[in-house]
Chain A
Amino acid sequence: MTPSAPAPPSVRPGGVPGRRAPALRGGRAPRQGSVLTPYALVSPFFLCFAVFSLFPLAFTGYVSLTGWNTRREGSEATFVGLENYRHLVADPDAWNALRNTIGIGMLSAVPQLLLALWIAHLLNGRLRGRLFVRMGVLVPYITSVASVAIIFNGLFARDFGPVNWLLGLAGCDPVDWHSGLLPSWTAVSVMVIWRWTGYNALIYLAAMQAIPPELYEAAAIDGAGGWRQFLHITIPSLRPTIIFTVIVSTIGSMQLFGEPYLFDLTRNANGGAAREYQTFVLYIYQQFWFNGRYGYASALAWALFLIIVVIVLVNLVLARRVRGED
């Protein structure tokens, strides 16, 4: 029920004590039909996963070694070795896309998680209309990326958007949110923040409610106020959950696609006239869908895949180290 340490679910052989043990103590396993039955039960998952996820992923690696381009007849089978990867390393647009992805990722994940933490803290009290408040916070989560992007396109419109209108009231000049790095990154990040903050807040709230009240009682007796309780009890207790949400947000932002794609009304996957907010997946999509460069797009996808795996592993190692310090 409570967040404990952030290790990958340690699935140890024989690690099944607890309720099962008494049943097995007689040395006789419960009969379970054929030996093959369990495999039959898990096989639908593994079969579908192999066909529609694992195989395409491996095949991406193969396609990335070919010069496959739908605009060149017979290019399917041209093996070009690491040529696509050499091209990738020297491709300024790929680096631009990576920079945009990381920039927008930071700009959306950091405020999002801080806000979520704060909202969870606000929610964690004796509230009247608890369900209503939680639903209010979660409404953005059920709104689709497409709807979010279209709605915020209007909110951020240059000539009549409410955001610029508010800025005008505050005496600022209208901002063209569709061009320039900082404005466009901000606009795209706001969509992500709006959609995911409430969701993360509920995750934090669940973890907060699992903190034993005795800790707060003890702190209160010691004279610690609300803010110090939050800093010294809530945050440390939430550490595993925070690490988890950081990892998930990181993976999510590395794959950001819908928001920047739909924010550019030309729908050419360029992410702004000067590629200001073209994310990495958007660039993959452009090379694949508009330019037909299957080989090169696969190299990009495989590269991003490796980047994400490395990030996840680094996160896991850091998480384990953080835990080790306790």
Chain B
Amino acid sequence: MSRPPAHGELDVPFGVGPRPGRSGTGADRSPEGHASPREPSALRRFSRSGRGPSRRVRGGPGLATRLLLGLVIVMSAFPLYWSVVVASHDQAAISHYPPVVLPGPHLWEHVRTAFEQANFAKALWNSAVVCGVITLAVLLTSTLAGFAFARLRFRGRDAMLGFVVATMLVPTQLGVIPLYIMVTRWFGWANDLRAVILPAVVSAFGVFFMRQYLVTALPMELLEAARIDGASTLRIYRSVVLPVARPAAAVLGLLTFITAWNDLFWPLIVLNSENPTVQVAISSLAAGVTVDYSLTLTGAVIGTGPMLIVFLLLGRQIIGGIMQGAVKA
């Protein structure tokens, strides 16, 4: 919460995208008015990480570029690799000169200790529940509101959409003190997962993201046809909007899940180590005057592992989501 959700939820440059109603070919035009090659379909755009081979004039990257990129990747990956190295050695190895660089044999043993000391089994389960519910709820509320903003006409719509966008720039999490009073004293949810879930079930970014997607991807003709067939709005939402929204919803779901998994500030306030999320468990493991680095870094490894697996499986979609969010949404 220190820096995320604001950041994670904000990757929509206001105005860096189609104006309301600017859709179809209009959305594919650059500011200079050059029409860029159209992608075959809006759906396809979301499932790809980029826009095909770069159209730069320069030839392939030179050796220097490749070496520099290699260095960047090493810098990106090194801290994670190093945490695995330390987590798999005993405590004495960390003060070894020169530093150890290869993983050792003790990882499994440390994982067991961490599970015993910091309640990691419960933490992983709690995080899975919290993130799962938050993701489903955000998807539901965002597709509902996104659909209404994209394709229904009602009084006050534009003002309300403007309000949604404005809230993305406002640090609403600064209301933590009353929020804490509210959920613990009024609702009695101290140390209760509901306290973490409910404040996160809606996302202004999510609403805006879905609205921007549906405004280009959901053909008016399809809605008209469904109307003529006598379908109710709810029915249309279920059988027309949701199928069309699926690619964008998958991306939004991933980003929401990652943000929720990594949130620290608010869970730290309402939960304690009896009933922690993964991030709270990690923080409680690494406190005190003498730190057992192999154990605390084992905590970091356990907490990052599931996200890393998700990332390895769905990295393409996550990258596509961030890049689409930046340019299109």
Binding site for B on A (CB under 8 A): 1-13, 15-20, 23, 29-33, 35, 37-39, 41-42, 44-46, 48-49, 52-60, 63, 119, 122-127, 130-131, 133-148, 150-155, 157, 159-160, 162, 165, 192, 194, 196, 198-199, 202-203, 205-207, 209-217, 220, 226, 240-241, 244, 247-249, 251-259, 261-262, 265-267, 281, 284-285, 288-289, 294, 297-298, 301-302, 304-305, 308-309, 312
Contacts and interface: CB of A to CB of B under 8 A. Distances in A.
A165 B58 CA distance: 40
Contacts of B232: 33
Residue from A122, A147, A248 having most chain B Cβ neighbours under 10 A = A147
17 contacts: A1-B328, A3-B17, A10-B20, A38-B154, A44-B140, A46-B160, A49-B202, A56-B179, A119-B69, A160-B95, A194-B75, A199-B322, A241-B16, A252-B3, A285-B265, A298-B177, A301-B175
A49 B307 contact: no
Nearest to A220: B57
Contact of B21 (A16, A194, A265, A304): A16
B328 to A, nearest CB: 6
Interface string B231-251: 011000100000000000000
Nearest to B285: A150
B40 interface: no
Contacts of A297: 177
Nearest to A50: B202
Contact of B3 (A9, A17, A52, A256): A256
A250 B23 CA distance: 31
B199 A53 contact: yes
B177 A301 contact: yes
Interface string B145-185: 10111001110011111101111011111111111111000
Given A11-B159, A18-B23, A256-B3, A205 B323 contact: yes
Contacts of A44: 140-141, 144-145, 202
Contact of B300 (A10, A42, A151): A151
B23 A207 contact: no
B176 A151 contact: no
- Shortest 3 CB-CB distances between A and B: which pairs? A56-B175, A257-B2, A136-B73
Given A151-B297, A199-B322, A126 B61 contact: yes
A275 to B, nearest CB: 17
Interface string B296-329: 1101100110011011100110110011101110
Contacts of B199: 52-53
B130 interface: no
Which of A60, A157, A162, A247 is packed against the most chain B CB atoms within 10 Å?
Answer: A162
Nearest to B29: A2
B308 A142 contact: yes
Contacts of A54: 172
B34 A42 contact: no
Interface string B1-16: 1111011001101111
Interface residues of B, number: 147
Nearest to B264: A258
B287 interface: yes
B237 to A, nearest CB: 8
Contact of A256 (B2, B162, B326): B2
A9 B14 contact: yes
A135 B53 CA distance: 17
Contacts of B3: 145, 192, 196, 252-253, 255-259
Given A12-B158, A56-B175, A265-B286, A139 B323 contact: no
B282 A18 contact: no
Contacts, number: 448
B14 A144 contact: no
Nearest to A303: B174
Find the residue from A5, A18, A217, A312 having the highest chain B CB count within 10 A.
A18
B264 A142 contact: no
Contacts of A289: 269
B65 A125 contact: yes
B171 A305 contact: yes
Most chain B Cβ neighbours within 10 Å, of A11, A32, A55: A11
B7 A209 contact: no
Interface in B68-103: 68-69, 72-73, 75-77, 79-80, 82-83, 86, 94-99
Contacts of B49: 130-131, 134
A259 B2 contact: yes
Contacts of B116: none
B72 A308 contact: no
Given A49-B204, A150-B299, A126 B265 contact: no
B28 interface: yes
Contacts of B319: 131, 134-135, 138, 202
B13 A251 contact: no
Contact of A48 (B166, B202, B237): B202
B22 A18 contact: yes
Given A32-B233, A136-B73, A192-B3, A146 B28 contact: no
Among A151, A244, A285: residue with most chain B CB under 10 A = A151
Contacts of A256: 2-3
A1 B213 CA distance: 11
A247 B224 CA distance: 41
Contacts of B51: 209-210
A60 B158 CA distance: 29
B36 interface: yes
Given A48-B201, A125-B56, A301 B153 contact: no
A314 to B, nearest CB: 12
Contacts of B142: 45
